Chain A
Amino acid sequence: QQQVKQSPQSLIVQKGGISIINCAYENTAFDYFPWYQQFPGKGPALLIAIRPDVSEKKEGRFTISFNKSAKQFSLHIMDSQPGDSATYFCAASLDTGFQKLVFGTGTRLLVSP
């Protein structure tokens, strides 16, 4: 019940295209859903996050769509650029006094020039 399932495992998108990464969770007590971006040899960096009281959040080219009834959320990268090539992790947590993040298995995105 603590799992977060992420798909696809890898993704190739042409420059200018839309990248879509999906995640699903089971624990309805989760109340915080961040996305992290990780470049090779680096630590994950927070990209964007959402709480379940909103269905969508947009920051620049990055949008999170959240479907509470389906227990799914997704990351959309509009106008994908080669510099977006990285591994993306979705995560979920519930606030038990701190955020114990449960990560998905990651999606390796390659944006071709």
Chain B
Amino acid sequence: NAGVMQNPRHLVRRRGQEARLRCSPMKGHSHVYWYRQLPEEGLKFMVYLQKENIIDESGMPKERFSAEFPKEGPSILRIQQVVRGDSAAYFCASSPGTGTETQYFGPGTRLLVL
């Protein structure tokens, strides 16, 4: 059973460009979470999605950030007009469903904004 997959693993963008991060949950998992990890800090919750629905986006910055989890395909975290402060590791996690607390994390995407 393949684990959570994220791509790209590393992404370099210049200020003002767009970053698209993709996450494929574990087989059989329909719930996806995105976290951001700044250097030397813990992970911070960003958003929780189920298929075609955003359930909780309380950790998402109000501007430039958006997330989706379509019926088919991976979950996408999109950052428009990136700034240097967006440089971080972005982790996706998945779980089978509500009430199952274990979240399984992917290897992360390390975004560097020049």
Residues of A within 8 A of B (CB): 4, 6, 32, 34, 36, 41-46, 49, 89, 93, 95, 97-106
Q: Is the CB of A46 within 8 A of B104?
A: yes
> Once bound together, how far apart are the Cα atoms of A42 and B98, in whole Å?
25
- B104 CB contacts on chain A under 8 angstroms: 46
- B4 CB contacts on chain A under 8 angstroms: 43
Q: Tell me the number of A-to-B contacts counted with CB atoms below 8 Å.
A: 64
Most chain B Cβ neighbours within 10 Å, of A4, A44, A45, A49 = A44
> Once bound together, how far apart are the Cα atoms of A101 and B44, in whole Å?
8
> Once bound together, how far apart are the Cα atoms of A4 and B60, in whole Å?
20
Q: Is the CB of B43 within 8 A of A46?
A: no
Residues of B within 8 A of A (CB): 4, 6, 31, 33, 35, 40-45, 48, 55-56, 58, 91, 93, 95, 98-99, 101-108
Task: Give B42's nearest chain A residue, CB to CB.
Answer: A103
Give the secondary structure class of A's interface. Answer: strand
- B40 CB contacts on chain A under 8 angstroms: 105-106
> Once bound together, how far apart are the Cα atoms of A44 and B105, in whole Å?
6
* Complex A-B: 29 CB contacts under 8 Å: A4-B42, A6-B42, A34-B101, A34-B102, A43-B4, A43-B6, A43-B93, A43-B107, A44-B91, A46-B102, A46-B103, A49-B101, A49-B102, A89-B43, A95-B101, A97-B55, A97-B98, A98-B48, A98-B56, A98-B98, A99-B95, A100-B48, A100-B56, A101-B33, A101-B35, A101-B43, A103-B43, A103-B44, A106-B40
Task: Give A103's nearest chain B residue, CB to CB.
Answer: B42
- Among candidates B6, B55, B95, B101, residue contacting A32 with C-beta atoms closer than 8 Å: B101
Q: Nearest-CB distance from A27 to chain B (Å)?
A: 14
Q: Is the CB of B105 within 8 A of A45?
A: yes
- A46 CB contacts on chain B under 8 angstroms: 102-104
- A36 CB contacts on chain B under 8 angstroms: 105
Given known A43-B107, A43-B108, A44-B91, contact A99–B101 (CB-CB < 8 A): yes
Q: Is the CB of A104 within 8 A of B101?
A: no
Q: Is the CB of B45 within 8 A of A100?
A: yes
- Among candidates B44, B55, B58, B101, residue contacting A93 with C-beta atoms closer than 8 Å: B101
